[in-house]
A and B are shown apart, each in its own frame.
Chain A
Amino acid sequence: MSRIVAAMSGGVDSSVAAALLARETREEEVIGVWMRTHGDLPEGYELSRSCCSPDAADDARRVAQLLNIPFFILNVEREFGERVIDTFVDSYLDGATPNPCQACNQYIKFDELLKRGLGAYGADVVATGHYARLEHRDGRWRLMRAADADKDQTYFLWVLDQDQLARTRFPLGDMTKPEVRAMAAELTLPTAHKPESQEICFVPLGDYRELLEERRGYAGEPGPIVDADGTRVGTHTGYAHYTVGQRHGLGVALGEAVYVREVQPATNTVVIGRREEVAQRTFSVDGARFTAGEPPSERFAASVRIRHRAPDVPAEVTMVGRDRFLVETADPVWAPAPGQAAVLYDGEECLGGGRIARGA
């Protein structure tokens, strides 16, 4: 009997995704798996708000019991530490903005889970609670936006290749969030009314600065905040504490709203600008990947999205070698942040993307 691994985070989305599979699948056995991504607290302590806490494991297990599917915990602490947490930290030290959910999808949920799932559970397919759809058309798998445009998560999934897409299921792709909640309630799943998790799971209090110190010994050294002309207008606590587009916490009063425009690690400098100075029409992108394996052509029209939930905008994309491309948007886009993904779409289809490069 072939088997499907249902990645269960303990949230309502992955619970319903597993429920749909458990209900519909007849030829394939569904195995519920919760991934332990970071370590335990000392005995006798309790603190947890995030999706990867022991509480979340309890919820996932409870759902698996109700669905009557086997449930296992997969330890991915080492892989998650290296591929997600360290990369997250290094991204800040690089003056860039990290993208941990996408790294987790790429290296943990699909890469590691597919690999380990095949070995441990004999499963060759992974299902998750992401809002995205898959279509097989004209000889290849296509990653499509979710039916619920508001919840679409293709922005975090553009890294998947043909091999991974072929072995992936997104049971929620055709559903809206209210429908998912309604179904969870109908099935009386304990996760039906859980609040949405927004924060980064390994930074439960939303302050990543401690992590910089803990993982890389970066305590932050005060340095200059300068405006577009290079005039010093303030002092920051350490360049890695700032990201492009940031408005709050600058401690600079110039009579109008200002934003971080650039972070310069080499000189420990934070450059700020007015709203219009932070917008750009062209930027270059590294680490390009295309779901089809290849870009559509050397130069093509696409719409580009540069942050989750931002609207995508029409652009002209020009390949520069195999894994870089240049984006020219019709209108300026707000604060393309180095390190963040630039994801390309052709209508409903997600073509792939890359990471916005520095000094674009």
Chain B
Amino acid sequence: MSAIHSTGAPTRNLRRPATAVSNRSPDANVARGYHRPMAIYLDHAATTPIRPEVLEAMLPYLTEHQGNPSSIHASGRRARQALDEAREEVAGHLGAKPREIVFTASGTEADNLAVRGVAWAASAKGRHIVTSAVEHKAVLATTAVLERQGFEITAIGVDRHGRVDPDEIAAAITERTTLVSIQSANNEVGTLQPVAEIGGICRARGVAFHVDAVQSAAFGPPTPDAWQATLVSLSAHKLYGPKGAGALYVRRGTAMLPQLSGGAQERQRRAGTENVAAIAGFGAALRLAYVEPTPMASLRDRLIADATALEGVELTGHPTERLPNSASFVIEGVEGGDLVAALDLEGIETSTGSACTTGSVEPSHVLLAMGVGPELAHGSLRLTIGRTTSEAEIDRTLEVLAGAIARLRGLRAPATATA
């Protein structure tokens, strides 16, 4: 009988002017939602801020140079020049030839193209792929699809630090193996993999070797020759470039089936009009990436030392063979997502481990592969520092972290067990 109540019930709420809500301007009430100006950003493994120089390099291709790089006319040629220059820039850092670089829209797309493209191109020869249990989902979800399509997949385990043993790779390779895919550094726990050693094995066995270098490229140029890699994936936004640009190095002579068809772009290996501005930004970001490397390892080590001094906080990943900016932990008695939210409300931006799986209820596959129990794996926290991270920000983070952990523990403990 809602009709009766719709006239009789108090409606004071409705008579108020809808100030905060009706104002749709993104600048309104900024302080309440997000954009805290003083936020401490410790999630550089998820993405990095664009450098001003990179933005400057991109802007002309979003404004006056609007042409399609495949067009014959002058605007098209101008855009094409930007692509060519970016390709030379990327190739130069990798010690590769420009034609060995395929631009993609992301690191994930580069991984997909490498794994699917080579697996199918070589499928007449064999249908076995070797990878590791701690790869990014861009590789593992792709090999899972291939498995359903009849490929055999071997995912090598790792030790408690997340390291792959090259001997296990060697033992896993069979005559039917066509591809080995191993990351240079883990995105969740920062552990570095012995890719050069693995590359040597692959070379000796005549198997293509893909290195997902998305996470490590900010700290040193990928070296396909030293790694003896056939394919290398990169992403611009992990090294202070824009989102929306990635690249795959494909060694000359590698058979690879395109995954997007419909155009002759990227030497027929990746159809679709190129994201010219983002690719120009990618080139600019790489140009700056290795000029004056910011030392981060000492800040990282302080963060690790002080955080692990807290009770029930344990480092994950390798103690020394790890990315210089990455500090990752498991914390007893705490749900990682709750801790990240608590830190966020204090203006500190962090992650449970991987932005790509945030919101998932499954504990991290990386931590599980390292032998961390599922309960403890739910308490993961990743802090990744960047070029501008200061000593003071680390101090503040450690202070807030200690308080947040105590608060979360104090309130979670026995209540779920009763009643």
Residues A149 and B1 in contact, CB atoms below 8 Å apart: yes
CA distance A69 to B34 in the complex (A): 8
Considering only CB atoms, which chain A residue lies closest to B7 in the complex? Answer: A176
A23 an interface residue at 8 Å Cβ cutoff? yes
CB distance from B390 to the nearest CB of A (A): 25
A40 an interface residue at 8 Å Cβ cutoff? yes
Partner of B21, one of A29, A67, A118, A175: A67
Interface of chain B, helix or strand or loop or mixed? helix
CB neighbours of B12 from chain A (8 A): 174
Residues B342 and A36 in contact, CB atoms below 8 Å apart: no
Partner of B9, one of A57, A73, A175, A187: A175
CA distance A267 to B77 in the complex (A): 84
Residues B5 and A73 in contact, CB atoms below 8 Å apart: no
Considering only CB atoms, which chain A residue lies closest to B34 in the complex? Answer: A70
Partner of B360, one of A3, A29, A40: A40
Which one of B409, B410, B412 has the highest number of Cβ atoms from chain A below 10 Å of its Cβ? Answer: B412
CA distance A20 to B14 in the complex (A): 9
Known: A119-B407, A147-B9. A23 touches B341 (CB 8 A): no
Range class of the A interface residue count? 35 or more
Which one of B5, B6, B411, B412 has the highest number of Cβ atoms from chain A below 10 Å of its Cβ? Answer: B5
A115 an interface residue at 8 Å Cβ cutoff? yes
Residues B10 and A174 in contact, CB atoms below 8 Å apart: yes
Known: A72-B341, A122-B342. A147 touches B2 (CB 8 A): no
B:395-414 near A, CB below 8 Å: 407-412
Partner of A179, one of B1, B6, B21, B360: B6
A183 an interface residue at 8 Å Cβ cutoff? yes
CB neighbours of A122 from chain B (8 A): 342, 345, 407
CA distance A358 to B29 in the complex (A): 55
B415 an interface residue at 8 Å Cβ cutoff? yes
CB distance from A286 to the nearest CB of B (A): 14
CA distance A346 to B343 in the complex (A): 45
B115 an interface residue at 8 Å Cβ cutoff? no
Which of A74-82, A225-233, A333-341 lies on the face that meets chain B? A74-82
Partner of A151, one of B2, B10, B19, B362: B2
CA distance A295 to B102 in the complex (A): 74
CA distance A120 to B16 in the complex (A): 32
CB distance from B380 to the nearest CB of A (A): 13
CB neighbours of B6 from chain A (8 A): 148, 176, 178-179
Known: A36-B361, A43-B141. A119 touches B13 (CB 8 A): no
Partner of B342, one of A19, A39, A69, A120: A120
Known: A116-B338, A150-B1, A174-B13. A70 touches B345 (CB 8 A): yes
Which one of A24, A115, A175, A186 has the highest number of Cβ atoms from chain B below 10 Å of its Cβ? Answer: A175
CA distance A187 to B23 in the complex (A): 9
B291 an interface residue at 8 Å Cβ cutoff? no
CB neighbours of A175 from chain B (8 A): 9, 11, 13-14
CA distance A43 to B108 in the complex (A): 15
CA distance A75 to B335 in the complex (A): 9
CB neighbours of B1 from chain A (8 A): 149-150
Known: A31-B345, A120-B339. A179 touches B33 (CB 8 A): no
Residues B33 and A23 in contact, CB atoms below 8 Å apart: no
A322 an interface residue at 8 Å Cβ cutoff? no
A22 an interface residue at 8 Å Cβ cutoff? yes
Residues A67 and B20 in contact, CB atoms below 8 Å apart: yes
Residues A68 and B32 in contact, CB atoms below 8 Å apart: yes
CB neighbours of A36 from chain B (8 A): 359, 361
Mark interface residues in A81-124 (1 if CB within 8 Å of B CB, else 0).
00000000000000000000000000000011001101111100
B72 an interface residue at 8 Å Cβ cutoff? no
B301 an interface residue at 8 Å Cβ cutoff? no
CA distance A267 to B16 in the complex (A): 61
Mark interface residues in B256-299 (1 if CB within 8 Å of A CB, else 0).
00000000000000000000000000000000000000000000
Known: A36-B361, A73-B359, A119-B342. A179 touches B14 (CB 8 A): yes
CA distance A117 to B220 in the complex (A): 42
CA distance A25 to B163 in the complex (A): 51
Q: CB within 8 Å of B: which residues of A?
A: 3, 19-20, 22-24, 29, 31, 36, 39-40, 43, 57, 65-70, 72-75, 77-79, 111-112, 115-116, 118-122, 147-151, 171, 174-179, 182-183, 186-187
Q: CB within 8 Å of A: which residues of B?
A: 1-2, 5-6, 8-14, 16, 18-22, 24, 28-30, 32-34, 141, 335, 337-339, 341-342, 344-345, 359-362, 407-412, 415-416
